A = this chain, B = another copy of it.
Amino acid sequence: MTTLNEVAELAGVTAATVSNVLRNRGKVGEQTRLRVLAAVDTLGYRPHLTARALAEGCAPTLALMVSSIANPFYPEFALAAERAARASGRFLIVCNTNEDVETGRAYLDQIAGSLSEGLLVMNAKLPMEELKKAQQRGAPVVLCMWEKPDAPPELPCIAVDFFAAGAIAGQHLIDLGHRHIAALVGSKKNGIHSERYKGYLSACTTSGLKHLECHTRYIQDSVEAGYESALVLLKTQPELTAIFATNDLPALGALNAAADLGLKVPEDISIIGITDIQWARLARPALTTVAVPTVSAAESAIKLLLELISKSIDGATMRVTETPQLVIRASTGVVKRSA
């Protein structure tokens, strides 16, 4: 490996000077500049980022903590986050907590403030306490995709108005004439998806529609859970003409359940999700959903993190992304039956 000193030696100068020309710092004579550049070139010198990080006091890396990068929602976010990080000259470390608090803690202990300069946290599985501790140790933390703009957390965050998303989805179904709607909530009662559900309920209330508690299911946020749940719902409650899911994954599962039951979508049953992941438009019928601004959320999150790092802002800032947008595709239609 070539070091700064070797380059310096070849160029007949000192390391400090090489460092200066490489980062366009202090004014360096044109002569020496050229000589240094030549030396760098012939030696194929590349700065040692770890050494630089130590000297500068911070590493050029940001960490993204997710429960599993394989969750179909994350990759798009991760891609956008990586781009934004890259644009600021930083690298992105992916940390899969695997929904495990211990793993998450281990990551926090190890990277916060040493290997990585800041943290992007996607899943609230990590206790707020741990995150705050990590932050105190010197690594700013930004919570991405916070679900409740009304209840700001104690840490900086990028919030998405999921209540609105739920309301938009519900309203769409209601506008189509649906009166018997099932709700698939991708979390425990009062869990992470409850805002979306509340939004949906508010749409019902606004329209004078009474949502029956027996039509809602609290399930896992997965295609499989949505499938199983929808299967039972559709078989046992024939009055249903639509399904609202708090996320695309269960909605896609419901789509499959309908298909396997021989039900036509949207003729027999309308289905709507939230997020607009890639699969949504690729499914058949393509899924109607409420699109969440994933890319801009990722960019805002990185931006906020960088501001926190450079200390140009302070405290628990919260920024809300653009409001989610209804994307009408083929899985929802005007109600045909009445019950």
A residues with a Cβ closer than 8 A to B are: 1, 44, 46-51, 53-54, 59-61, 68-72, 74-76, 78-79, 82-83, 86, 91-96, 98, 109-115, 133, 137-138, 223, 252, 255-256, 259-260, 278-279, 282-284
Contact = CB atoms under 8 A, between A and B. Distances in A.
25 contacts: A1-B113, A44-B137, A46-B110, A47-B114, A49-B110, A49-B111, A49-B115, A51-B114, A59-B115, A61-B93, A68-B79, A69-B75, A69-B79, A70-B75, A70-B76, A71-B75, A72-B75, A72-B278, A75-B75, A78-B94, A79-B96, A82-B95, A279-B279, A279-B282, A284-B284
A70 B82 CA distance: 11
A92 B110 CA distance: 13
A278 B113 CA distance: 35
Nearest to A55: B54
A115 B69 contact: no
B114 A46 contact: yes
Contacts of A86: 96
Number of copies: 2
Given A75-B74, A94-B82, A282-B223, A109 B46 contact: yes
Contact of A60 (B92, B94, B115): B115
A46 B78 contact: no
A206 to B, nearest CB: 34
Contacts of A61: 93, 115
Contacts of A46: 109-110, 112-114, 137
A137 B3 CA distance: 11
Contacts of A138: 1
B82 A282 contact: no
Contact of A83 (B72, B78, B96, B283): B96
Residue with the highest number of chain B CB atoms closer than 10 Å, among A46, A48, A113? A46
Contacts of A91: 93, 95, 110-111, 115
A91 B113 CA distance: 15
Nearest to A252: B282
B137 A1 contact: yes
A114 B78 contact: no
A83 B70 CA distance: 12
B59 A70 contact: no
A101 to B, nearest CB: 15
Nearest to A256: B284
Contacts of A282: 223, 252, 256, 279
